């Protein structure tokens, strides 16, 4: 087992990794930018190293500085968390070159799933259903028009290098040229890669993801699913496990497909296979996240399993200890962000003057914030994650509503009012929602 792990991340996920490492008897090294000097992960780690200025490019994305921090502290492993360099094959490769274990998949595995076109081809060979579309990057707007004629409108243009940016829905040929060039420009700005591909646009889908784990001995399992359909501009707001949309037969079928997807690249680590499921319950592979995810706590709660510990053990060469799960509990996670839901979710950085976190049976809070903490404007606006777990989905919603009512944060605007309203929304309570839910949601 590792003696010392450097966490190449910040905020709540860095603190989450530190806690599991401490339980495992592993020393930890926190890294931080000048803007994060007072963050809790810096205070809770055994050692802490400043790696640069407030901008991500100066610190958390600065590979030479991260490697220098690992070497001067004699860390024998690096945990990347999520975001930043977590799915960066170059970073994983550099760690290998320096004899420092990257707690995640190999560079080849990251590359295989990081490029969406390559990933799609891999899934087709593995017999995993994929959304009809282009089998290669679209080099010209004429290519886009021709593929759209074959697939049939509406279609979705997507960046091959990542998600959330460089995406455009095109419903008719007259809009294709402008959409194609706009998507390329946005993709280049976000990922330094303007590659664009096309998929059939699935109307009113559900976003369902399966947690998977694999080891170097060829063992693969899935650890149940999460429903991430409550989104705004392709960014998740609420996640839950299990999904209210799936039934047992479909859950088993999708779980087997998720395992085939992971096995197709001999996956080693924990990761997530993301699917779109249409109104007829037909499902399609969307992408694989080769890292731990923000919403991993809901899976941990419904199956009583530490995914970070599993990730570390796999990286240390141990066999997976998980198995295929059908959860017996229900869990919901609300992302508490420093954003103003009454003002189009505008970011609200600043100093938290008052903070009281909820508690009680079935309530978990993963957060790095405290009264007096200043939320910097340079990073994601996540303050914390509130997780409620109960025997039934209805009880989990009621527990969540009670916990949200107790959550007090002053000094910055937060998404708590949004979540309170959502927990009382009839469509959400009945489970009759999909990824289009937020298009018709209005704050009261």
| Tens of pLDDT, residues 231-246 | 998 899 999 999 999 9
318 and 366 assigned to the same domain: yes
- How many of the other CB atoms lie within 10 Å of CB of 200? 17
Q: Which of 10, 226, 291, 393 is catalytic?
A: 291
The angle formed by the CA atoms of residues 20, 23 and 29, to the nearest 5 degrees, is: 60
pTM: 0.90
What does each C-alpha distance from 433 to 155, 156, 197, 206, 370 come to in angstroms?
22, 21, 28, 8, 34
The structure tokens listed for 301 are: 């709660």
Averaged pLDDT for residues 5-14? 98
**Mean pLDDT across the chain, nearest whole number?**
96
Please determine, for residue 163, whether its predicted confidence score (pLDDT) is greater than 80: no
**Within this chain, do residues 254 and 380 fall inside the same structural domain, yes or no?**
yes
Domain boundary among 145, 177, 200: 200
Which of 146, 171, 200 finishes a domain?
A: 200
Q: What is the helix (H) or strand (E) element at residue 290, kind and residue range?
A: none
Identify which of 181, 9, 148, 178 has the alpha carbon closest to the alpha carbon of residue 87.
Answer: 9
Residue pair 187/165 in contact by the 8 Å Cβ criterion = yes
Mean pLDDT of the region 341-362: 97
Q: Provide, rounded to the nearest whole percent, the portion of the chain with pLDDT above 90.
A: 92
Q: Confidence band (pLDDT; 50, 70, 90) for 30?
A: very high
pLDDT score recorded for residue 369 = 96
| Residue 317 shares a structural domain with residue 435 | yes
* pLDDT tens profile 271-323: 999 999 998 999 999 999 999 999 999 999 999 999 999 999 999 999 999 88
Domain count for the chain: 3
Record the tokens describing residue 103, joined without a space: 């707690």
The 10s digit of each residue's pLDDT in 37-93 is 999 999 999 999 999 999 999 999 999 999 999 999 999 999 999 999 999 999 999
What gap in Å lies between CA 123 and CA 257, rounded to an integer? Answer: 9
Contact 185, 146 (CB under 8 A): no
Per the annotation, the verdict on 291 as an active-site residue is yes
Per cent of the chain over pLDDT 70 is: 100
E-state strands within 171-280: 196-200, 206-214, 220-232, 235-241, 269-277
Asked if residue 314 and residue 223 are part of one domain, the reply reads yes
> Whole-angstrom Cα distance, residue 103 to residue 101?
6
With 90 as the cut, is the pLDDT of residue 135 above it? no
Give just the sign of the alpha carbon dihedral 108, 164, 379, 210: negative
DSSP letters spanning 322-338: ------SSEEEEEEEES
Residue 290 belongs to a domain: yes
Q: In this structure, are 76 and 188 located in the same domain?
A: no
The residue whose two tokens read 């640069």 is 52
Q: Residue 192: which pLDDT band, with cuts at 50, 70 and 90?
A: confident
Confidence class for position 6, pLDDT limits 50, 70, 90: very high
Rounded to whole angstroms, the Cα distance separating 211 from 227 reads: 11
- Same domain? 82 vs 36: yes
Mean pLDDT value across residues 192-197: 92
Residue 323 sits in a domain whose CATH number is 3.30.470.20
**115 assigned to some structural domain:** no
Supply the CATH number for residue 166's domain: 3.30.1490.20
Which three-class secondary structure state does DSSP give residue 18? helix
Q: Tell me which residue range forms the domain holding 10.
A: 4-103
- Return all residues near 85 (Cβ < 8 A) that are at least 6 apart: 8, 60, 61, 63, 66, 91
User: Do 307 and 218 fall within a single domain?
Assistant: yes
3-state secondary structure of 168: strand
| pLDDT tens figures, 407-431 | 999 999 999 999 999 999 999 999 9
Neighbours of 427 (CB within 10 A): 13
Assess if residue 119 is contained within a domain: no
Are 382 and 290 members of one domain?
yes
- H/E run at residue 368: none
Cα–chain-centroid distance for residue 186? Answer: 21
Closest CA to 332 of 263, 387, 401, 405: 387
Query: In terms of domains, do 302 and 321 share one?
Result: yes
Check whether residue 187 and residue 168 sit in a common domain.
Answer: yes
Are 293 and 223 within one domain?
yes
81 belongs to a structural domain:
yes
- Do 421 and 305 share a structural domain? yes
Is pLDDT above 90 for 328?
no
- From 103, 123, 157, the end of a domain falls on 103
CA distance 326 to 249: 11
93: domain CATH number is 3.40.50.20
């Amino acid at each position: 087992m590792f003696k010392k792990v450097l966490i190449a991340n910040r905020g709540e996920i860095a603190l989450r990794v530190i806690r599991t490492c401490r339980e495992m008897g592993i020393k930890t090294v926190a890294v931080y930018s000048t803007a994060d000097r007072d963050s809790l992960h810096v205070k809770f780690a055994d050692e802490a190293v400043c790696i640069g200025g407030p901008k991500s490019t100066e610190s958390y994305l600065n590979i030479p500085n991260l490697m220098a921090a690992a070497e001067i502290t004699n860390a024998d492993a690096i945990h990347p968390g999520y975001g930043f360099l977590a799915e960066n094959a170059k970073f994983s490769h550099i760690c290998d070159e320096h004899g420092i274990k990257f707690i995640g998949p190999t560079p080849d595995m990251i590359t295989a799933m990081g490029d969406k076109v390559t990933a799609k081809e891999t899934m087709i060979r593995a017999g995993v259903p994929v959304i009809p579309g282009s089998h290669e990057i679209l080099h010209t707007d004429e290519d886009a028009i021709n593929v759209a004629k074959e697939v049939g409108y509406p279609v979705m243009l997507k960046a091959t290098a990542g998600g959330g940016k460089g995406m455009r829905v095109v419903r008719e040929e007259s809009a294709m040229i402008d959409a194609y060039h706009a998507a390329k420009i946005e993709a280049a700005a976000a990922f330094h890669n303007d590659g664009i591909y096309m998929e059939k646009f699935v109307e009113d889908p559900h976003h369902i993801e399966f947690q998977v784990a694999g080891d170097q001995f060829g063992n693969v399992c899935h650890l149940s699913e999460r429903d991430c359909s409550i989104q705004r501009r392709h960014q998740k707001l609420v996640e839950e496990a299990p999904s209210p949309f799936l039934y047992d037969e479909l859950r088993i079928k999708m779980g087997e497909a998720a395992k085939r997807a992971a096995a197709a690249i001999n996956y080693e680590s924990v990761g997530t296979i993301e699917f779109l499921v249409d109104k007829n319950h037909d499902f399609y592979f969307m992408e694989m996240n080769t890292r731990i995810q923000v919403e991993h706590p809901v899976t941990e709660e419904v199956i009583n399993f530490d995914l970070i510990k599993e990730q570390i053990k796999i990286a240390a060469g141990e066999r997976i200890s998980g198995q295929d799960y059908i959860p017996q509990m229900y869990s919901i996670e609300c992302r508490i962000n420093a954003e103003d839901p009454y003002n189009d979710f505008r970011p609200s950085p600043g100093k938290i003057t008052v903070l009281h976190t909820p508690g009680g049976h079935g309530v978990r809070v993963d957060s790095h914030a405290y009264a007096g903490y200043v939320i910097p404007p340079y990073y994601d606006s996540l303050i914390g994650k509130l997780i409620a777990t109960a025997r039934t989905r209805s009880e989990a919603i009621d527990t969540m509503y009670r916990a949200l009512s107790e959550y007090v944060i002053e000094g910055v605007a937060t998404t708590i009012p949004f979540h309170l309203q959502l927990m009382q929304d009839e469509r959400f309570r009945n489970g009759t929602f999909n990824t289009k839910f937020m298009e018709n949601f209005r704050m009261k």
